[in-house]
Amino acid sequence: MHVLESIQEWRQVRKSIQGTVGLVPTMGALHEGHLSLVQQSSLDNDVTVLSIFVNPTQFNETDDLVNYPRALKQDLALLEGLDVDYVLLPHYQEMYPDDYRYSMTESLISHELEGTQRPGHFNGMLTVVLKLLNLARPQKAYFGEKDYQQLILVRDMVNAFFLDVEIVGCSTVREEDGLAMASRNQRLSSEQRARAYRFSEVLASDKSCEEMTTDLEEAGFVVEYVAKRYGRVLGAVQIDNVRLIDNVACEHTV
């Protein structure tokens, strides 16, 4: 496993890579969900590239960026036992030499649900994903279905700009009690974690959005939204100071 912090060095290395490349973009604080993306990439491709970059342009709140979990030493140790060929650790100055003067925007899906709650989030996400796709030049790139709006937007961007890459969505990996694995779960206290499972349980209950909202509020969550879109039930809640998102498949959407 080769760890590269310099984009210029990576671009030289990329010229020498033979065979198919799979990209797994992450912001670190890796968990089993990320590792499942790596495993799928290693099955599908000759070479797997994983990036770790906490992208500041997709955080709409400074406190969220400051508190986002960072565990690089542990992340690299986790990856050592997997079929990861290259780990990219770019720095902000190289990723944004323009200091974010140029950005990718979308005018429809990015303005609802997560886009309403986190203004500017999807602009930053799409911008950094486009940069990573251009740098890695993969045949396939892997994203978890937990961030379902993100997955849709990335696929649509790739299609809109004729990018020669397949975006592969991978199923959400869950804890034994159903909670979707997420880096932010590391911020949950033991008491918060004991309640968190109710989020996924309620979303899977086949009730109306209004009924699910009531159930979640009664369970002690602050509900940002529960909505049926894209063949899914999507939700975002807060447990005290920790924000969680999730989604489950459903038959009927509005």
Local structure of 140: helix, strand or coil: strand
Buried b (16+ CB within 10 A) or exposed e, 24-56: bbbbbbbbebbbbbbbbbbeebebbbbbbbbbe
Q: What's the gap between Cα 26 and its chain centre?
A: 7
Instruction: Examine the residue annotation and report whether 34 is marked as an active-site residue of this protein.
Output: yes
Alpha carbon distance, N-terminus to C-terminus of the chain? 46
User: Alpha-carbon dihedral of residues 160, 169, 7, 61, nearest 10 degrees?
Assistant: 90
Catalytic pick among 2, 34, 91, 121: 34
Phi and psi of 87, rounded to 5°? -115, 125
**Euclidean distance between CA atoms 224 and 174, whole angstroms:** 22
Among residues 234, 225, 240, the alpha carbon closest in space to that of 253 is found at 234
Q: How far is Cα 173 from Cα 206, in angstroms, rounded to an integer?
A: 20
The residues carrying an active-site annotation are 34
